[in-house]
Chains A and B, each alone.
Chain A
Amino acid sequence: MTAQAGTANQDRTPGRNAVSDFIRRSFSDRRTGIVTVLALIILVGGGVPFLEWALFNADFVGNGPADCRRVGACWVFIAQKAGQLGYGFYPQDLRWQVNISMAVSALGLVGAFAAARRYQVALAAAVYAVSVVLSFDIFGGRLPGLTQVAVEKWGGLTLTLLLFSIGVGVSFLLGGLLAMGRRSERPVIRSIASVYVEFMRGVPLIAILFVAVILLPLFLPSGADANLFLRIVIGICLYTSSYMAEAIRAGLDAVPTGSREAAYALGLSNWNTQKLVVFPQALTISLPGLINTMVALVKDTSLVIIVGVHDLLGSTQLAIGDVAWGNVLWEGYFFAGAVYFLMCYVLNCVGRHLEAKARRATAR
């Protein structure tokens, strides 16, 4: 971070001595000087021991607990537990099923996105729906030729990704409907959508997950396959869709009425006006909100461990519980944190890229 600030500084004053400029800015007045010193103390006091632990004294290569000297981080642990952190207890020789499932859902997301950009809303929804069902079935090995794997064995990063890829699209579609409902001229539809959104936003996700896991079976016919994973996905989608709805609604609200009127004047039907004029504009405006919601979704998926599903965080929790490795809590949490950070960071970057692109398109 400091390096970034430094380079930004350099760009602004080419030819100058960056270091002396950096120092001058750091101590430009009394207040700034105090703050700089404080920051230095925090950086050195926290950073040096951390680097010693994470890099200089750490053990990177080895095959077991014995290969860690325990003076620094034991990254051997992460390397040895990589399979569990990635796939949970999914049988090793069947993990290719998970990989295919991941590829299918990635392709589905990309395909749906590409179709949506060409205003093929129905096609996008269809592509996405097919990819979700397919990747879910492949993950569970339900298709002919694959081997079935019980939900209890799913886990790790791939489960987090599966939850995300299902949650993001379903809640986006649901959220779009709700946003339209909240803006509907019909008071009944509007109030149903409003009550739903306000309810979901007023209750913690954990409570929703509890309801989904414990009470959903009460409403299902007896003997229905009340797959734990499915119940959790339903809970997450119901919850996230209300946030998606609010983000999309903010965008819809910001679309000038003139655009709509112009579209009607051109003779576009109501549906085509929405599809070709209103939604593209609204989505561009609500992109930051949508990205925020998606980042929140990535983070929220970790709550499923409270209802007994071992996603990335849950698998980490299980892996660090392995007594053979001794105390590897810091390593485990650090690794899981880094992976979550990476996922959210990538999402943010994609969001920023899309935003910039949209801004260029409107500027043109």
Chain B
Amino acid sequence: MRYGLFAAVVGVLVSWNCGAQAQATLAAVKARGELLCGVGENFAGFFSPDATGKYTGFDIDFCHAVAAATLGDAQKVKFLSATPSARFPQLQSGQVDILSREVTDTFSRDTSLGLDFPIITFYDGHALMVAKSLGAKTAKDLNGANVCTQTGLSTEVIIADYFKSNNLTYKPVVFDSRDQALAAFEKGRCDVFSSDRSTLFAYRSALSNPDGFTVLDETISKSLNGPTVRHGDNNWADIVRWTGYVLIAAEEFGVTSTNVDAMKADANAPAEVRRMLGAEGGFGQMLGLSDDWGYRIIKSVGNYGEVYDRNIGSGSKVSIPREKTLNALWKNGGALIAPSFQ
């Protein structure tokens, strides 16, 4: 009896593991009929549930775009929560096909963790939020400060580097969750809260007295954020990368979710647009997708500008300025640029 049970447990364990064979991600997604997308904590603009419990946000839309490209239906996504500590193991082990939670690309992550960062979708940099009553005008005034951060993010290292290189002393106060860190900051446990600049404004607006706090002008790091996939599946990385490029290029060419049908039907549209939307060239097949993959992306989520405005830009509550930042198109002085569809 007990032997049988032991044997059963062992058997289940082994057979469970036999299923865990490496498989090409695209084939797995198609077979499953669903994209598994790892997303971050509730964070207005990037990832948050609306009143009906439906997730919306910048990161959410990127997964919708990938689902539209690969499965033909933007809604065939399952969003899984990926906390800072568990997110990489989740991706590495195949629990998710893609992490879309603004992971910052760094050398060690790219090279030693089995991760790939196919495309940068959001440029940012760390800034420092302080209480106005502190009287600090620049980061140089922060000698001896206590700094609240959330563990698991690059923030800890960025802060250490910055204070060290500026010969300033500080004490780190590290929290497990962002909410705890913010609560401790607001209660005065720390002088400084640090995070990406764009996100700091969102955090500040959630404090009980937003006007009592200010974000210093210095940007103390550069954060290049984007979706993350497993290392070694080049086809899948290509799909994710070119999904991003379609969003960017569509904005450059003026293709939007409303005019995409007309653009596709328009035989006089620029050749690049026609190739992107699958009207000619058969580009989709080169990725292992059907030819209208680009059309489906734009049809379901719109171009980069639309995604940005709807979630984090002027059309949203978060309202992160885009002009004159790196997140503008290259034509407007930003860093967003897509290779040609040739």
Contacts and interface: CB of A to CB of B under 8 A. Distances in A.
Given A91-B53, A152-B81, A214 B86 contact: yes
Contacts of A189: 2, 6
Given A217-B89, A306-B176, A181 B19 contact: no
B342 interface: no
B16 A321 contact: no
A156 B255 CA distance: 47
Interface string A175-197: 00100110000000100000000
A213 B6 CA distance: 24
Contact of A221 (B17, B86, B177, B207): B17
Contacts of A361: none
B85 interface: yes
Contact of A271 (B1, B20, B94): B1
Contacts of A362: none
A219 B6 CA distance: 19
Given A91-B53, A177-B5, A214-B89, A219 B17 contact: yes
A223 B32 contact: yes
B23 interface: yes
Given A181-B2, A214-B89, A217-B86, A222 B23 contact: yes
B90 interface: yes
Contact of B90 (A210, A226, A271, A324): A226
Contact of B20 (A181, A219, A323): A219
Contacts of A277: none
Interface string B57-94: 00000000000000000000000110101100110111
A223 B86 contact: no
A318 B17 CA distance: 38
B53 A150 contact: yes
Contact of B208 (A214, A224, A318, A323): A323
B83 A217 contact: no
B211 to A, nearest CB: 14
B95 A214 contact: no
B89 to A, nearest CB: 5
B248 interface: no
Interface string B207-250: 11000000000000000000000000000000000000000000
A223 B16 contact: no
B36 interface: yes
Nearest to B187: A327
Interface in A213-241: 213-215, 217-224, 226, 228
A256 interface: no
B323 interface: no
B179 interface: yes
B19 A221 contact: yes
A218 B93 CA distance: 5
B176 A222 contact: no
Given A217-B86, A217-B95, A321-B179, A223 B36 contact: yes
A318 B28 CA distance: 38
Interface string B18-30: 0110010000100
Interface string A300-334: 00000010100000000010010110000000000
A150 B32 CA distance: 20
A226 B20 CA distance: 13
Given A91-B53, A323-B208, A222 B28 contact: yes
A232 to B, nearest CB: 12
A213 B86 contact: yes
A50 to B, nearest CB: 23
Interface in B1-59: 1-2, 5-6, 16-17, 19-20, 23, 28, 32, 36, 53
B183 interface: yes
A150 B28 CA distance: 24
Contact of B207 (A91, A180, A219, A323): A323
A243 to B, nearest CB: 20
Interface in A120-179: 150-153, 177
A135 to B, nearest CB: 22
A218 B19 contact: no
B177 A223 contact: no
B28 A217 contact: no
B1 to A, nearest CB: 7
B94 A223 contact: yes
A46 to B, nearest CB: 25
B40 to A, nearest CB: 12
Contacts of B1: 271
A111 to B, nearest CB: 22
A93 B1 CA distance: 46
- Of B20, B23, B92, chain A has the most CB atoms within 10 Å of the CB of B20
A209 to B, nearest CB: 11
B89 A215 contact: yes
B51 to A, nearest CB: 10
B54 to A, nearest CB: 11
Contacts of B186: 323
Interface of B: 1-2, 5-6, 16-17, 19-20, 23, 28, 32, 36, 53, 80-81, 83, 85-86, 89-90, 92-95, 176-177, 179, 183, 186, 207-208
Please provide the 5 A-B residue pairs with the shortest distance between their CB atoms, ordered closest to farther. A222-B94, A323-B208, A221-B19, A218-B93, A221-B20
10 contacts: A218-B89, A219-B17, A221-B17, A221-B20, A221-B94, A222-B93, A226-B90, A306-B176, A321-B179, A323-B207
Given A213-B85, A223-B94, 10 more contacts: A181-B2, A189-B2, A219-B17, A219-B20, A221-B17, A221-B19, A222-B20, A222-B28, A271-B1, A323-B207
Interface of A: 91, 150-153, 177, 180-181, 189, 210, 213-215, 217-224, 226, 228, 271, 306, 308, 318, 321, 323-324
